[in-house]
């Protein structure tokens, strides 16, 4: 579809988080004068959240913080928004209805091309929409029923970004649609290919890995009955924690890779999304890894931060 606004946006986000990751890795070499500057403190405030937000925040900056437990808001928005887009897409495919004008106008702006109503969404796009909605629903349930949050905070900018993230992500799925001739649902299902199956299996495996990792983190703070016994941070063990400090972030990356595989690897826009997730989660994992090392003297030094045996 060419390089539209959606590709520019994801390219900008990818480069921004890559730059943030590199700046953080180099920050130990910065002069003390720079580390004490307001700009450096703002940078640290914007890249950190929860346990990694090790800043002395003034009264003015505290007003910009919201509780980290509000993470569930992001997934609630995603369940509603991407559920709506999935519903509209099923109406287009199964009932030969048209998208509302506000949807097609938005897609035309994001892609820079005219939306062709004579064609229909392909199986790849519908499957990615479904899997993205299931992912959001699972994460919403985990935030409300599994995770145990300490009194950590998010910066208001991070919170607003998180609210808008899944809205743009859902639209990006539609922008990535490989258009084909209008067909019935029977013909659509007959186009099931190996990459749809492989991508779905990778999605399920990565989702299970992420869920098990989050359960292990929650058990550090709960009794066998499920009651919360502490909000202190402890060294996570078990599962993939023996390889990396943040297997749930690695699983997040694999989930997005799996959706790219469902697309058959043919969506340039989705490759940009994967690149963004790679750098975004790398930064978050690096900050968590450094937190564990600084807090626990006996923390296993052989663990990687994010990607086993690589990063």
DSSP class of 95: S
Q: How many residues does the chain have?
A: 311
Secondary structure (DSSP) of 37-85: SHHHHHHHHHH--GGG------HHHHTTEEEGGGHHHHHHHHHHHHHHH
Cα separation, 66 vs 69, whole angstroms = 9
Q: Would you call 149 exposed, middle or buried from its count of C-beta atoms within 10 A (0-12, 13-18, 19+)?
A: middle
Q: Is residue 142 part of a domain?
A: yes
Helix (H, G, I), strand (E, B) or coil at 101: helix
Q: By the 8 A CB rule, do 254 and 208 touch? A: no
Q: Which pLDDT does position 57 carry in this prediction? A: 43
Tell whether 310 is covered by a domain: no
Residue 265 maps to a domain: yes
Note whether 51 and 68 are within 8 A (CB). no
Residue 219 lies in a domain: yes
Does residue 301 sit within a domain?
A: no
pTM of structure: 0.93
- Helices 5-26 and 156-175 cross at an angle (nearest 10°) of 140
* Regions of the chain with pLDDT less than 70: 1-2, 54-63, 117-120, 178-187
pLDDT digits (tens, 9 = 90+) for 250-298: 999 999 999 999 999 999 999 999 999 999 999 999 999 999 999 999 9
Q: Please indicate, yes or no, if residue 262 is contained in any of the structural domains.
A: yes
Domains of the chain: total: 1
**Domain assignment of residue 265, given as a range:** 5-295
Domain presence at residue 118: yes
98 is a domain residue = yes
């Amino acid at each position: 579809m060419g390089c539209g606004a959606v590709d520019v946006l994801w390219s900008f986000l990818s480069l921004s988080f890559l730059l943030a990751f590199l700046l953080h890795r180099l920050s130990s070499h910065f002069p003390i004068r720079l580390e004490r500057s307001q700009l450096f403190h703002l940078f640290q405030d914007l890249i950190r959240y929860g346990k990694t937000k090790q800043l002395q925040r003034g009264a003015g900056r505290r007003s910009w913080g919201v509780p980290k437990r509000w993470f569930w808001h992001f997934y609630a928005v995603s369940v509603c928004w991407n559920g709506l887009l999935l519903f509209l897409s099923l109406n287009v495919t199964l009932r030969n209805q048209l998208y509302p004008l506000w949807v097609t106008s938005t897609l035309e702006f994001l892609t820079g091309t005219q939306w062709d109503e004579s064609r229909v969404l392909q199986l790849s796009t519908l499957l990615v929409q479904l899997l993205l909605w299931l992912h959001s629903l699972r994460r919403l349930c985990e935030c409300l029923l599994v995770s145990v949050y300490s009194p950590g905070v998010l910066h208001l900018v991070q919170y607003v970004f998180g609210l808008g993230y899944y809205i743009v992500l859902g639209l990006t799925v539609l922008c990535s649609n490989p258009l084909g001739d209008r067909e019935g649902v029977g013909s659509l299902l007959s186009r099931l290919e190996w990459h749809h199956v492989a991508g779905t299996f990778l999605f399920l495996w990565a989702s299970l890995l992420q869920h098990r990792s989050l359960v292990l983190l929650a058990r550090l703070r709960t009794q066998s009955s499920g009651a919360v016994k502490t909000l202190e941070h402890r060294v996570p063990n078990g599962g993939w924690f023996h390889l990396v400090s943040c297997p749930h972030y690695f699983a997040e990356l694999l989930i997005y890779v799996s959706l790219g595989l469902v697309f058959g690897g043919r969506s340039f826009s989705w490759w940009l999304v994967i690149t963004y997730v790679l750098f975004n989660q790398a930064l978050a994992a690096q900050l968590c890894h450094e937190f564990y090392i600084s807090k626990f003297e006996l923390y296993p030094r052989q663990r990687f931060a994010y990607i086993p045996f690589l990063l």
